[in-house]
Each structure stands twice: as C-alpha cells, then as structure tokens.
Structure 1
Amino acid sequence: MTLEMLVIKIPETEDGSRIDRCVRRILGNINQAMLEKYLRSGLILLDNKKIKSSVKVNTGQLVKYSSHIKFENGKIKQFNQADINNYYKNLYKRIFIKETKDFIAINKPCGLAVQGGSSQKYHVDDMLKCIFYDETAPKLVHRIDKDTSGLLLIAKNQKSAKKISNFFKEHKIIKTYLAIVSPCPKTNSGVIDAPILKKGVDGKQKMKVDYSKGKQSITHYKVLDKIGSRVAVIALYPKTGRTHQLRVHLEHINAPIVGDRKYTGLPGIYNLSEKLNDHDSITQIKWNSEDINNLQLHAYSIHMPDKETIEAELNEDFKNNLKFLGLSLPNNINNIFT
C-alpha cells in the first residue's frame, strides 16, 4: 500500500501550542499513546522531522501525516490544505529555470513571498519543504521582495550555501534588475550612494534614506530606453543588499518604480494622454500609478564568478507594459554592469 503524506500548515491560532494538542484541535481526536507512536515512527512529522509530543509549534510550520491515520470527529476540512503539495509541485515546475551541483535557480512570480509570515499563505521556503523531504533540502541564500518578480538562487546544501553567501558578501555576484520608472532619472546613468535606515512604528515602518544613522547602500543604474522625461525602463545593480534598497533609492532620486504603493515619490508624477513620438503608435494613453497592480521590478539576471550568467524571463505583465509604452530593451543587458 502506498504511503501518502498529507500536509497542513500550522494556523496563527495554534502558535506556541504543543504538537499533540495542536494535532487534536486541527485534525481530530486521537489516542495519546497512538499519537506518540505515530510521532516516533515518522507517520506524523513537523517540518519533515520526527519530534516528541511536547514540542511546541509555530505559525506557518508544516505538519505531514499519513493518510491512513484515523482521527475521530475529523476536523480536517477546517484547516487542511490538502492540495498544497500539488500546488507547490505545479508551481515549482512552472518557475524552475536550471539546476547545477551547487544551486537551483527559479523565476519567482510577483506576489509570492520568499519566506513566511502570519499573512503569507504560500511562500518559497514552504515550497522547498514540501518538495524536498530531508535535511539536504535546498537553502535560501538571498531574498527578493514579495512584490518583486524574477531570479532567485537556492543553494542545494550547506556547503554550497556558505560558498554562494560569501560570493554575495564579497560582491562577486552581480545582480541585474529591470524596472519601469516614472519620471525618468535626471541622468542616463549614475550611482546612488544613500544610506538607508528603517523608521516608523510597528505596522507602519518604512526604509528611508538617513545620512547620519543609515547603513551604507549603493545602487548603480542605467537608462535603457525612455519617453522624454516621463517614463523609462532602467537596469539596476544593487552593490549592497539592504531591505527595499532599489525602491527607496529610486524614490530618493524622484524616479519611483511604477506600481510601487509604498515608495511612491512625489504626487502627480505622470499622466499621458497623447501619442508618444518616436515610439510605437499608441494613442489615448492614460498612464497612472493607480492603473498598475504589480510592482514593475524584475530580478533579471545573475552573473556568477565563473562568468556563467543565469536569466529569468520577464513576466507577461512587465512585457505588456513595455509594449504598451513603446519601450524596448537592448541585447546586451547582462554586460552593462560587468
């Protein structure tokens, strides 16, 4: 008989609970002795590991259990995400780019968080736990924002994770991002050297430029194509890796990313309702930040120390906006910062 493992995610209401009590509340009643037997034998796992019944759980952790376990007064319909495995398997197939002996590269879609939180239903870390079942599961070595799409490297083991992390720290990996911004930067290329600090109260915190207390943050940029001074597609290389760095830096030079609801720059930035000269024949354009649901920022490529370059194809939304605006990309994007 094939052993099928079902999966549920620990809800916020069970944060800090003992695993035995949590299982009863979520899945249904079960004899304590049998429950402990299932835990010892690996028929009930927490994040793919055997645990004791007294272990406390955290929001977002995954409980895997055999489909053959019988729970009394089953409550599984209340919290069960029985299709989570299929969802993640299909997602992984769709976003997979390549695999080497050291890493896996994926093309993360906009809206998918890299790591979980109380409000995240799905995230990359969760996906890895679902697909890889042992301690050699791939490990995250860098992050991109939930609303940013594009390339993410995942180390295949601890040794590779340490090596790739060091590459990032020593600036031996060059990451190139693409963004649609409005208005255009005042110069066609440049370096934004502006220290960043988190400010505000819990729940309303933002990263802001602070020259007295902020951490050093450096971003290189180059305009690839533009429409006058109103809208442009640009390439970006963050030499440092601060939270929301690209978004904060572009707002700082008053060239915020289209679709950014948090770092919006000055109000009334753009409003086009005319034919755009020297571009595709587009008429009656009404281009406004409120028309864009997704942040127009894409992690396009990574240039490795061994000269290998990995690319993540632009998503359809980004492509359609480029076409709509009549903006085009050059062929040598990956050579701009190398």
Structure 2
Amino acid sequence: MLNIKIPEKEHGTRLDRCVRRLLGQLNQSLLEKFLRSGMILLDGKKAKSSTKVFYGQEINYSQKLSFDKPYQVKKISEYNETYYKNLFKKIFIKETSEYIAINKPSGLAVQGGSKQKFHVDDMLKCISTDDNSLKLVHRIDKDTSGLLLLAKENKVAKKFTSFFKDRKIIKTYLAIVSPCPTDDRGTIDLPLSKSFTKDYQRMSVDQNMGKRAISEYKVLDKVGSRVALVALFPKTGRTHQLRVHLEYINAPIVGDNKYRGLSEVFMSSHNLPEHKKLSQIKWIPNNIKNLQLHAYSIRIPESETIIAEVSEDFKQNLKFLGLKLPKKLHDIFI
C-alpha cells in the first residue's frame, strides 16, 4: 500500500473529493468500490466516501490503482472573484478571534459541483489568506438560507465539529409550513435513510434501516389551520432532516418541491381567511418554489448565541400571510 498524508487545506473535506484532489481523477462508482474492498483506506481502516477527513490523517491506497489524470485546481475568474468579495460583504454578520459568521442566501450552494456556478467553497478561497484559511464547520442545504460558521484555525474547526457531533450546539431554524402541524409543540423521533429513484435520491422515514433523527418544533404563529410559522431544533444532523420530518407529519415547508407532503396546499387554490390565494404569493418574482426555511441562530456552549436575521423576502412573506415573528427566538429550545 502507498500512503499520502492529508494536508491542512483538506481538513474537514469529504474523503472522495480529497482523494481526487490528492491522487487524481477516478470514477465515483469505482472509487466507492475501492473503498468497500479496502483498496483505499483512511488511517488503515475502511471508510465511506462521505467521511470527513482531517489534517494529519493518512490515505492508504493500492499501487495497482491508476488515476486518469492529476487533479488541476480551477482558477477562479476575475469576475467571479469580484462577485464573491462583494457577496461576502453583503452576508457578513460578525468576526471573532475564532470564527466568521455569514448569512448565506437561499440558492447559494455550500459545496461545488458540476452544476454549481457559485458556491461557498469558492468564496472562501477568495476571502482567505495564506495565513488564514477559512474552514466550514457545518453545512446547510443550497435552498436553505441562514447562518454558517467559518473557523479560522484547524483547532477551532475541530472544537466546533466535536460540539456538533456531541449535540452541544443548539441550532434554531424558522420555517413557513402549510398546513399547520396538528400539535403546537412536539418532538419528531423518526429514523431516516436514503432512497433512490430513477431521477434523483431523497431521504425518507425508514423504521428498519434508518439512522435515528430527532427534531423538536414549536408553532410561533398561525393562520387557522392553513399556514404557520414554526421554530425548529434538529437534535441530530441527518440530510434534509427537518424537511422530511415536517413532510411526515403533513406540515411540509412552503416552497419545498421535493418533500411536498400530502396536501400541497401551497400549490392549491384554497383561500386563507381574509387573504389572497396562496398560489398568488410571490416568494421570488414569478417563483413560488423558493424554500421557506432559514437557519436563524446557533448557541455555542458556554458562550454566545449568534443570529442571522431573516431576509426581506421572508419578512414580506410573513407580512403577506399575516404571520408575526416573535422578538425573542434564540432561547426557545434552551
């Protein structure tokens, strides 16, 4: 077996992406096969492609493997660099000696991919310096807006990663859902697993093979039984957890085109009391499918609570529906 140490710049990235950057291009299905068979190991042990790697670990790989071509870092264009720097100024929340907090807009992916023109990973390259390489310590979905923390050093990234892993951080989300949950407050404890269709993959409740997922929620305001503003606390961090759990209790998030629930009220012609039809709401100009989910706050153990205010569009949607945003939100689940 040949060995290569993971450099500092790869700290916190996915194993499959790290392999490609360090060793060269390899088809994803083949890479998965080599990981399962043990031809590629992480610190001498089998690991999944999605496993996060850390500075100082070793990738062990068989000398029989061949890679198509060395990985080449794509240079960020001058136009994109200017865009990212201006974007960072707009979404910047605060900076401490340990981290920077930003308010990610809906529609901006966190990680790059073949279909992503702009993403946070590239933005970090533009705003980082040789002495200060910013690192993501957690992620939110592309269509979810809100709070992201960027660690300034590896030791800070490791500390925050352990906080998330040990469930010491309290994250509060806000969502507009339709229809309202049956109960005004509750805990959803349902295991989730990935399921695949011909066109795409999605998460679903799976009592047999799923991983445990726990979400708390509280209704903050509602209009009859049609629509509500809900605060959410994901105690675990499964993919699309909040979206799947809300769909399961038939209170899907407005604008969620993947986890629509049973009623799809937001696409129907039902009238709200003293309101226009929900189908006439302009979430984004001429686009009703903008996901109404916002990562509002993070409470750090023995420290402060960081807040990312909701966007003007979100506020306008609340106003249109007659929903009110309470003043104190960050301590709901403490």
**Is the TM value for this pair above 0.5?**
yes
Q: Given the alignment, which residue of 214, 217, 222 partners 1:218?
A: 214
Identify if the C-alpha distance between structure 1 residues 203 and 129 changes in structure 2 by more than 3 Å, giving closer, same or farther. Answer: farther
Q: Does residue 126 of structure 1 match 2:126?
A: no
Q: Does residue 172 of structure 1 match 2:168?
A: yes
Contact 2:250 2:263 in 1 (8 A): no
Q: Does residue 63 of structure 1 match 2:75?
A: yes
Q: Secondary structure at the match of 1:226?
A: strand
C-alpha displacement of 1:135: 6.3
Moved more, 124-133 or 183-192: 124-133
Q: Secondary structure at the match of 2:239?
A: coil
Alignment of 1:26-105 (within 5 A): 56-57=70-71, 61-63=73-75, 81-105=77-101
1:49 paired residue number: none
Task: Summarize deviations over 1:87-107 as a string: whole Å, max 9, x none.
Answer: 010000000001111111000
C-alpha displacement of 1:268: 4.3
Identify if the C-alpha distance between structure 1 residues 90 and 163 changes in structure 2 by more than 3 Å, giving closer, same or farther. Answer: same
Identify if the C-alpha distance between structure 1 residues 205 and 135 changes in structure 2 by more than 3 Å, giving closer, same or farther. Answer: farther
2:203 paired residue number: 207
Identify if the C-alpha distance between structure 1 residues 172 and 274 changes in structure 2 by more than 3 Å, giving closer, same or farther. Answer: closer
1:154 paired residue number: 150
2:278 paired residue number: 287
Q: Which has the larger radius of gyration?
A: 1
Structure 1: how far apart are the matches of 2:85 and 2:69?
29
Identify if the C-alpha distance between structure 1 residues 99 and 55 changes in structure 2 by more than 3 Å, giving closer, same or farther. Answer: farther
Structure 1: how far apart are the matches of 2:233 and 2:119?
25
Task: Summarize deviations over 1:165-187 as a string: whole Å, max 9, x none.
Answer: 01111111100000000000000
2:139 paired residue number: 143
Structure 2: how far apart are the matches of 1:90 and 1:62?
21
C-alpha displacement of 1:82: 2.9
2:308 paired residue number: 312
Q: Does residue 232 of structure 1 match 2:228?
A: yes
Q: Secondary structure at the match of 1:136?
A: coil
TM-score with structure 2 length normalisation? Answer: 0.75
Structure 1: how far apart are the matches of 2:213 and 2:264?
28
Identify if the C-alpha distance between structure 1 residues 243 and 269 changes in structure 2 by more than 3 Å, giving closer, same or farther. Answer: same
Task: Summarize deviations over 1:155-212 as a string: whole Å, max 9, x none.
Answer: 1110000000011111111000000000000000000001000001464111000010
C-alpha displacement of 1:274: 5.1
Contact 2:109 2:142 in 1 (8 A): yes
The list of structure 1 runs, each at least 4 consecutive aligned residues, that deviate by more than 4 angstroms after superposition, is none
Structure 2: how far apart are the matches of 1:293 and 1:263?
12
Structure 2: how far apart are the matches of 1:103 and 1:146?
21
Task: Summarize deviations over 1:64-93 as a string: whole Å, max 9, x none.
Answer: 6xxxxxxxxxxxxxxxx3311110100000
Q: In structure 2, give the amino acid aligned to 1:323.
A: K
Q: In structure 2, give the amino acid aligned to 1:287.
A: L
Identity %: 60
Task: Summarize deviations over 1:221-263 as a string: whole Å, max 9, x none.
Answer: 0000001111000000000000100100000100000000000
Unaligned runs of 5+ in 1: 1-14, 20-53, 65-80, 277-281
Q: Secondary structure at the match of 2:238?
A: coil
Identify if the C-alpha distance between structure 1 residues 115 and 268 changes in structure 2 by more than 3 Å, giving closer, same or farther. Answer: closer
Q: In structure 2, give the amino acid aligned to 1:119.
A: K
C-alpha displacement of 1:306: 2.1
C-alpha displacement of 1:133: 3.4
Q: Given the alignment, which residue of 254, 257, 269 partners 1:261?
A: 257
Q: Given the alignment, which residue of 185, 189, 195 partners 2:185?
A: 189
Aligned length: 264
Moved more, 132-141 or 107-116: 132-141
Unaligned runs of 5+ in 2: 1-19, 25-67
Contact 2:256 2:290 in 1 (8 A): yes
Structure 2: how far apart are the matches of 1:201 and 1:137?
38
